[in-house]
Structure 1
Amino acid sequence: MEHPKHLNLDDAWRNEPFALPVVDARAWGPQLRFSAPPRLIERFYHEHEANLAVPFLLYGSGDFHYLTALRLRRIAGSVVLVSFDNHPDWDVRPPKWGCGGWINRALELPQIKHVAVWGCGNFECWWPHQIFGNRRAERAGVLEVHPWADDRPVKDRQRKGAILGENWRDLFERFSKGLANENIYVTIDLDCLCIEEAVTNWESGRFSVADLQWALGMLREFCQIIGGDICGAYSVTKYARRKQRFAAEFDHPKIRLP
């Protein structure tokens, strides 16, 4: 089995504790951050296909989360994608390759049987912003999103997939049991964690590290985890193109670092 790797795009994981073999891809970082044109994506994939194919990959800021869709290309057989993320990443608007809509690239792959996103804490799952999400896939049952509803009006708690701090573990255990014996790919964006436990380039979520440990334990108990990745650590932003910078700075929240 191939060993896990650290794909260093932006120095987000300096002094990471696992001492993983490092692939220096920092020349690609500014070109790929937040979004990139398809031709550039294919060039990157051609150059780093072998590195993207390892069972586990650690890589940069959540701005690069869409690279998970490239990793999924190499997986054979039917797979369920489970994402822990403060954002649903289901936006159907351009750009095609970007951190805000990469779930749709995953759903285009024939081997992806189902996608579930847990821990969405921002506005994108609620009216009116949800009109830009892939509601068609959600209605078809191939995509499920689980946004936090603790601070929403009572009627919003009836939204399909809505979770509360008091019930999400029960719902996740039921979800895991429903995937018994399925092959699972797990992707974690650190922005799903509360602000006390992770520093990222995006808004913070509500999970704790202990929550993620418990959830991964549930998946391991009932499913076969065949691969995974972690991204989302904070890094200084660098861009290669003016339109890319404009779109990214418009979309990013104003973060005050601790």
Structure 2
Amino acid sequence: MNKPVILDFDHSTGTIADAFRIELGQWQEAIRFGCSQAKFKQLQGELARQLPACYGTVLMGSGDYHHVSLLLIKRLQQYFSATNPIQIVIFDNHPDNMRYLFGIHCGSWVSYVAQLPFVSHVHVLGITSDDIGLAHCWENRLAPLFQGKLTYWCMDVQVGWAKKIGLQQAFRAFASPEELISAFIHAQQQTSESVYVSIDKDVLGKDVVQTNWDQGRMQLEHLLSVIAALNQRIIGSDITGEVSQWQYTSLLKRLLSAMDKQEPIPAVTLAAWQQQHHAVNQQLLTALAQHQQTAS
């Protein structure tokens, strides 16, 4: 079994038995929330130097680093191609497919994944965010949706606008997590393509874990059901969504993060929340190790 990796930007993950830890605290200000394409490329080089040849699930800390998943997925291009593609399954309360003018950030990376020639399709499961509602529809990058390479699996959001512009096939709306998960598992039974799984724990309800992002309705059992159904098709995985705090020196990042309305968290509360995350991580890591291929 390949060992998990901790990309330790924010020191929020805690101790994971047998994990290979890469200290990246010096990158926190530059990469957290978002960065220029040039800085992102520098991080890509740093990961190429430090990641082991083979590894298991990668833990990256806060959901503010979810765009780093793109770099992990790009590493799979040596194993896959347009004629032997993979699917990407993302659990997230947000589409992460929004427009961003300053490079790449945690809310815009999905469109880049959809452009990769060895990726046949991207599924984002569990969205309840208004990011895909009418008021924010213009902020979504529509190209991968029109191209049939991206599907939003959502709940509790009015997405009728999508049908009016011919995108109904890219939006799968459900009344409950159970209905969503059942439909997704059924759809996956029609294919044998390999899968990369990326989990942002803001997809989970607040009764499971607390994050400093708005959260969805999924329960841990829903994620575990999908992981089990995908079984040995999983060829890589990552986990984000830890809770941590950071005071940016960049004025732009301070302004943009303030728009997300993330409130300061007392130290005692933060520690308790991180313990919740640790317990969830252990269950996810066990399931992913059981059902993931030994590769990558």
Give 2:224's match in structure 1, choosing from 199, 213, 228.
Answer: 213
1:8 is aligned to 8
Residues of 2 paired with 1:240 and 1:218: CA distance? Answer: 44
Residues of 2 paired with 1:229 and 1:64: CA distance? Answer: 11
1:246 is aligned to 255
Are the equivalent residues in 1 in contact too, given 2:203–2:216 (CA < 8 A)?
A: yes
2:284 is aligned to none
Are the equivalent residues in 2 in contact too, given 1:92–1:104 (CA < 8 A)?
A: no
Instruction: Look up the equivalent residue of 1:80 and give its one-letter code.
Output: Q
What is the CA distance between 1:142 and its match in structure 2?
Answer: 0.5
Give 1:97's match in structure 2, choosing from 97, 100, 104.
Answer: 104
Cα displacement string for residues 19-46 of structure 1 (whole angstroms, at most 9, x for unaligned residues) = 5121111111122110011121111111
2:128 is aligned to 121
Structure 2 unmatched ranges of 5 or more? 274-296
Superposed, 1:28-177 pairs within 5 Å as 28-49=27-48, 50-51=50-51, 54-75=55-76, 76-77=79-80, 78-149=85-156, 152=157, 160-165=171-176, 166-177=178-189
Residues of 2 paired with 1:186 and 1:122: CA distance? Answer: 20
Q: Between Structure 1 and Structure 2, which shows a larger proportion of helix residues?
A: 2
Task: Verify: 1:232 aligned to 2:255, yes or no.
Answer: no
- Please give the secondary structure, in 2, of the residue aligned with 1:128: helix
1:25 is aligned to 24
1:201 is aligned to 212
RMSD over equivalenced CA pairs, Å: 2.4
Q: 130-139 or 111-120, which moves further after superposition?
A: 130-139
Are the equivalent residues in 1 in contact too, given 2:134–2:158 (CA < 8 A)?
A: no
Cα displacement string for residues 48-75 of structure 1 (whole angstroms, at most 9, x for unaligned residues) = 2242873420111000000000111110
Are the equivalent residues in 2 in contact too, given 1:33–1:238 (CA < 8 A)?
A: no
Are the equivalent residues in 2 in contact too, given 1:182–1:224 (CA < 8 A)?
A: yes
Instruction: Look up the equivalent residue of 1:116 and give its one-letter code.
Output: H
Q: 4-13 or 184-193, which moves further after superposition?
A: 4-13
Change (3 A) 1:188 1:42: same
Change (3 A) 1:154 1:10: closer
What is the CA distance between 1:162 and its match in structure 2?
Answer: 0.8
What is the CA distance between 1:240 and its match in structure 2?
Answer: 4.1
What is the CA distance between 1:154 and its match in structure 2?
Answer: 10
Report percent identity of matched pairs. Answer: 25
Are the equivalent residues in 1 in contact too, given 2:9–2:25 (CA < 8 A)?
A: yes
Residues of 1 paired with 2:174 and 2:131: CA distance? Answer: 15
- Please give the secondary structure, in 2, of the residue aligned with 1:188: strand
Instruction: Look up the equivalent residue of 1:207 and give its one-letter code.
Output: M
Residues of 2 paired with 1:255 and 1:209: CA distance? Answer: 26
